[in-house]
Chain A
Amino acid sequence: MTTKRFLSLEWKQFRRSSFFEKGLAIKILMLLGALYFASIAVLAGIGVFFIFKTSVPDQDPFALINNYLIYWVLGDLALRYFMQQLPVMNIKPMLLLPIKRQSVIQFLLLKTSFSFFNILPLLFFIPLAVVLMVQGYHPVMVLLWFISILSISFSINFLNFILNKNKTVFFVVIALLAAFVGLQYFNVFDITPYTGVFFNSFYKVGYTVVLPLALVIFLFKMNYRLLRANFYVDGAVQAKKEKFKNYNLEFLNRFGTLATFLKNDVKMITRNARPKQVLIMSFLFLFYGLLIFTQDIYKDMPVFLAFAAMFVTGGFLMTFGQLVPSWDSEYYKLMMSQNVSYKQYLESKWLLMAIGCAVSFILSTPYIYFGWDIFAMIAAGASFNIGLNSFITLYGGALNRVPIELNQKAKAFSNTQGFNPTQLLIALPKILGPMLIFYVPYKLINFNAGIIVLALSGVLGLIFKSYFLKLIENLYQKTKYKTISAFSEKK
């Protein structure tokens, strides 16, 4: 009875969420996106067996897959840490109603099972299990193996909530992941055969399935107990208050009138959940080059190198910049009725983005390993980012008008507002720009000419800085009332 009620509440929440108030085109795009991810998972599930079979013909592909599952476990934990939302239901109104706490908590926990992060592994492992059976593996044992994997997936789900965004655990997981991958890559030590024994046993031995099953039940119980104990207005329901952190930001005073805003932005980034998430994301951008520069195919297609070079240093600049002025949406009315000059406001944001890009560039020096050519390209990409990309991103941000709840992490794949035709249009010059600027002189003259022109394009942008800022300022002024009303909309 109560479960039915809860379900109907959840359904209403889902039906009436802003997602369904979007235009048809966006809905279709979102659907296509979801289908894309789903089909990738399914295809990978079908394909992974054959990939291993052809690349390592003399070994059992299933055993190899099991060896590598440790990376899935660690990667999944890390991904969920900053993507998956903790289970929140509006439990405050439920506290006073005659409903058993037990049923509320159980519902809350079961609800988390249907998150995207639990469905995606299913989409991968079901086809894989089917392929295994078709390939002649023992169906019953494959089923046992599948149940074990499923239990592990759900254990990760519940473990994630118990850890409750514990930073230390997250960094330990990331460090382990990096260490294992690194050690294996450089042929120092390979962990996978050892952990593989464990995952293999689900198929080989079978009854070891009780281990993951026991684990998932244990974690569920533990979650239950934790929630039960904190089921009070001052417990789990109450948002966590953060401890006050203070930094000495006086050194920013050298930026004169911009310092007021810069100091505020630094505090904004360090004291709120959402911008911190963006900071971590932009750090990951640094590693994008590893995907491209290590592949030999791209050696002959330097255009893609130009794109990657821009991406390596542009992480913070783009992820932060595309949400200016949304970062200030919570108090936008204050900004609009105070003595704030758009020019100073924009210039300080630009400065912050440029600093972010410069820091990324310094952090990208290890790319020298791939050769000075690559590093010169990254430098040229950084120049493009600071001189041109920053202004394009700021311009796009002004059209974005998404209210942000600063202290709420973005939900995975729910940022539908940022996903609109204007944003796609704005993304084009960001991506094609550096490729084109590099490609033309590269084709006409040579590789070095391409790099020089790409670097010069950034310098040119800097020369026209005040003109670009004026352009964006005009856009701000023109869309002022639209922006205010969009930002004051309730989410």
Chain B
Amino acid sequence: METIIQVQNLSKSYNAGKVLDIEALDIPKGQSFGLVGNNGAGKTTFFSLLLDLILPTTGQIENKGIVVSQSEEWKPFTSSFIDESFLIGYLTAEEYFYFIGDLRNTSKAEVDELLAEFEDFFHGEILNQKKYLRDLSKGNQKKVGIVATLIGNPEVVILDEPFANLDPTTQIRLKKIIKELSSQKHVTVLVSSHDLMHVTEVCERIVVLDKGEVVKDIYTSEATLKELELYFER
């Protein structure tokens, strides 16, 4: 499989010390990739580096051969939802989807077509609500953010803690969506989570971060959940 994301000697330090230090990490195209770790392990830092929201102290990340901190060419095929600061609070869900569609050269009709697929997922609480995103519940905001990442046929989708704040039904639906993305559309999906059960179910590969370093790199099997639970029990 060809590699789409390639990490080399990546590290990020603040005054207080190193928060991330990954020597090498390759993620092949179409893989569903899970990142787990306790608070402060460096998950969000890694995603922020991948999205060029912060500068690495050393090393670099290549996204489809493009060094993310040097060129912006990775943006058209990469989409992400990290937190609420990726939503525009004063827009309605539809307006937000169309806005993202405009940025990603996707017509209104194409966006509508995509949204139709997620009717189940939205559970009638997102579209035609005449409500601004800032007035939606946390869970519903998350649904909007996640679906917006799928607009414009991205090749890399980055989701930080997508399962948090979602109700059980939506969690199950989201797992299905992520699985289909990587297996049918060959989209590379990067997911971080605190929920070991969800990641083991969804991801083909799981990397455990601890204090900024990769401590485990597992291809998911039946035994994975047990292994992870044992590790975190320490």
The verdict on A334 contacting B87 (CB below 8 Å), with A242-B132, A339-B103, A339-B104 known, is yes
A168 within 8 A of B: no
Selected contact of B90 from candidates A271, A340, A481, A485, CB within 8 Å: A271
Stretch at the interface among B2-10, B75-83, B172-180: B75-83
Q: Mark A427-439, 1 if CB is under 8 A from B, else 0.
A: 0000000000000
User: Using Cβ atoms and an 8 Å threshold, which residues of chain A touch B100?
Assistant: 338
Please determine whether A333 and B88 come into contact, CB atoms closer than 8 angstroms: no
Stretch at the interface among A61-69, A218-226, A260-268, A465-473: A260-268
User: Using Cβ atoms and an 8 Å threshold, which residues of chain B touch A13?
Assistant: none
Please determine whether A271 and B132 come into contact, CB atoms closer than 8 angstroms: yes
A332 within 8 A of B: yes
Please determine whether A406 and B90 come into contact, CB atoms closer than 8 angstroms: yes
B54 within 8 A of A: yes
* CB of B31 to closest CB in A, whole Å: 21
Please determine whether A338 and B130 come into contact, CB atoms closer than 8 angstroms: no
**Docked complex Cα distance between A484 and B48 (Å):** 11
* CB of B132 to closest CB in A, whole Å: 7
Tally of chain A residues near chain B (CB < 8 A): 25
Selected contact of A407 from candidates B89, B92, B105, CB within 8 Å: B89
**Docked complex Cα distance between A267 and B94 (Å):** 13
Please determine whether B85 and A332 come into contact, CB atoms closer than 8 angstroms: yes
User: Using Cβ atoms and an 8 Å threshold, which residues of chain A touch B131?
Assistant: 241, 244
The verdict on A336 contacting B86 (CB below 8 Å), with A244-B132, A260-B99, A264-B99 known, is no
**Docked complex Cα distance between A242 and B135 (Å):** 9
Please determine whether A244 and B52 come into contact, CB atoms closer than 8 angstroms: no
* CB of A473 to closest CB in B, whole Å: 12
Please determine whether B86 and A481 come into contact, CB atoms closer than 8 angstroms: no
B195 within 8 A of A: no
* CB of B119 to closest CB in A, whole Å: 21
Please determine whether A337 and B90 come into contact, CB atoms closer than 8 angstroms: no
Please determine whether A331 and B75 come into contact, CB atoms closer than 8 angstroms: no
Please determine whether A481 and B55 come into contact, CB atoms closer than 8 angstroms: yes
Please determine whether B75 and A337 come into contact, CB atoms closer than 8 angstroms: yes
**Docked complex Cα distance between A332 and B48 (Å):** 13
Please determine whether A331 and B92 come into contact, CB atoms closer than 8 angstroms: no
A272 within 8 A of B: yes
User: Using Cβ atoms and an 8 Å threshold, which residues of chain B touch A336?
Assistant: 51-53
User: Using Cβ atoms and an 8 Å threshold, which residues of chain A touch B87?
Assistant: 331, 334
Q: Mark B105-136, 1 if CB is under 8 A from A, else 0.
A: 10000000000000000000000001110110
User: Using Cβ atoms and an 8 Å threshold, which residues of chain B touch A485?
Assistant: 54
Selected contact of A484 from candidates B53, B78, B134, CB within 8 Å: B53
Selected contact of A333 from candidates B79, B82, B90, B103, CB within 8 Å: B82
B229 within 8 A of A: no
User: Using Cβ atoms and an 8 Å threshold, which residues of chain A touch B79?
Assistant: 337-338
Please name the residue on chain A nearest to B81 by beta carbon: A334
User: Using Cβ atoms and an 8 Å threshold, which residues of chain A touch B51?
Assistant: 333, 336-337
Please determine whether A267 and B85 come into contact, CB atoms closer than 8 angstroms: no
**Docked complex Cα distance between A131 and B32 (Å):** 80
In this complex, the member of A331, A336, A406 whose beta carbon has the largest number of chain B beta carbons within 10 angstroms is A331
Please determine whether B85 and A330 come into contact, CB atoms closer than 8 angstroms: yes
* CB of A274 to closest CB in B, whole Å: 11
Q: 26 A-B Cβ contacts within 8 A?
A: A242-B135, A244-B130, A244-B132, A260-B103, A264-B91, A271-B90, A271-B132, A330-B85, A330-B89, A331-B89, A332-B85, A333-B82, A333-B86, A337-B51, A337-B52, A338-B79, A338-B100, A338-B103, A339-B76, A339-B104, A339-B105, A406-B89, A407-B134, A481-B54, A485-B54, A488-B85
New A-B pairs, 9, CB < 8 Å, besides A244-B131, A339-B75: A330-B85, A331-B88, A331-B89, A333-B86, A336-B51, A339-B76, A340-B103, A406-B89, A484-B54
